[in-house]
Structure 1
């Protein structure tokens, strides 16, 4: 496996390249307070590449505009366009199944894009999906979930304040396509701080759900 810089006019990130011919490709992006160098993204992309997938971790447009600070809600559509651009960049390099996903805010925007444009990807990986603001379960971000028709894997910490495991299970039922939930014991919103590295189990859950399609 090797890691290479990907830097075009519209996509910036790192490609984790498997040793042999890829059997799939995945683009993963970061949360609201991070960037493509987030530890959990590096861990996940390493594991995916070790299992034969071309893996891209990339910056969303809001992070490319400024190195720090949160995204602007009024410009979220630009971030969803950035997800589409990353998927297109993978399709330029690989002709097989394409997976997309992200951490927290990045996962939410990715899931919204997949609900709007299901042709963008063949599967979805949501790490620490921000189901609702901490302490405000009545503000669930679920409106778009029924529009998701592709296989979807949720990877979620048991102590995540953005959604309990029971709440995530209930939300997953709304997804039209097949789903799986990987529970990360004793982990909060930042999965990279879990007591044990969850990346191998997460990648296994994704591959198990997709089965012969990869």
Structure 2
């Protein structure tokens, strides 16, 4: 398994890495999204090998929503984590933005071993449809989990997110980004730094 196999790009730290981080993209995006680049830069600056990668459906076609099976995308997450495990003796953090984070969280709930799960803009429900909450797998998550979320995200309000966090079967941190929408853009807050700070706190 190589970086090319997962369409991955590595951000290398100075010196030997503390551990490895693998992050993937949202439904309409790819590995080159500004948030993923910023997060990987932040992790690398803290001494970690950070890899941003494309899910299997995005490797097949450059644009458009997820196609094919969610199971295949979850298998793509497993491949990325296995690759990371081979590149470090340290901890492994896995996660992603929106759909990518959800696929990672399902893989972890199914038993994929990581040290911390790092989710940005978890898509708790489709906009305007709170009754369709994507929470059924959350109690099976047994690793510390960070949720970084904008207060204006239509995929879940802070109140809805906090209720979902309470379902997770391990320690959680909720990083609330005031005024941010689903892309987590903020003019006043350093979102990558806040997200990485929280993950490192959970690592202890």
Give the CA RMSD over aligned residues. 1.1
3-state SS, counterpart of residue 69 of structure 2: helix
TM-score, with structure 2 as normaliser? 0.96
TM-score, with structure 1 as normaliser? 0.92
Q: CA deviation at 1:126?
A: 0.5
2: CA distance, partners of 1:177 / 1:42: 28
Q: CA deviation at 1:36?
A: 0.2
Map of 1:95 onto structure 2 = 89
Asked if residue 195 in structure 1 is aligned to residue 190 in structure 2, the reply is: no
Q: 1:157 aligns with which of 124, 131, 150?
A: 150
2: CA distance, partners of 1:64 / 1:86: 13
What are the ranges of 5 or more consecutive residues in structure 1 without an aligned counterpart? 1-5
Q: CA deviation at 1:69?
A: 0.5
1: CA distance, partners of 2:79 / 2:42: 23
1: CA distance, partners of 2:174 / 2:3: 33
Q: 2:71 aligns with which of 77, 91, 99?
A: 77
Q: CA deviation at 1:118?
A: 3.7
3-state SS, counterpart of residue 125 of structure 2: coil
In terms of mean alpha carbon deviation, does 169-178 or 18-27 score higher? 18-27
Q: 1:180 aligns with which of 170, 173, 182?
A: 173
Map of 1:15 onto structure 2 = 10
- The question of whether the paired residues in 1 share the 8 Å contact of 2:116 and 2:202 is answered with no
Q: CA deviation at 1:7?
A: 3.9
Q: CA deviation at 1:143?
A: 0.1
Q: CA deviation at 1:96?
A: 1.5
2: CA distance, partners of 1:66 / 1:117: 29
Alpha-carbon displacement from aligned partner over 1:5-51 (angstroms, at most 9, x marks no partner): x643x311210111022112110000000000000000000001111
What are the ranges of 5 or more consecutive residues in structure 2 without an aligned counterpart? none
3-state SS, counterpart of residue 169 of structure 2: coil
2: CA distance, partners of 1:23 / 1:174: 30
Q: 1:33 aligns with which of 25, 28, 35?
A: 28
Detail structure 1 runs of 4+ shifted over 3 Å in the superposition.
Answer: none
How many residue pairs get matched?
202
2: CA distance, partners of 1:21 / 1:181: 30
2: CA distance, partners of 1:77 / 1:132: 19
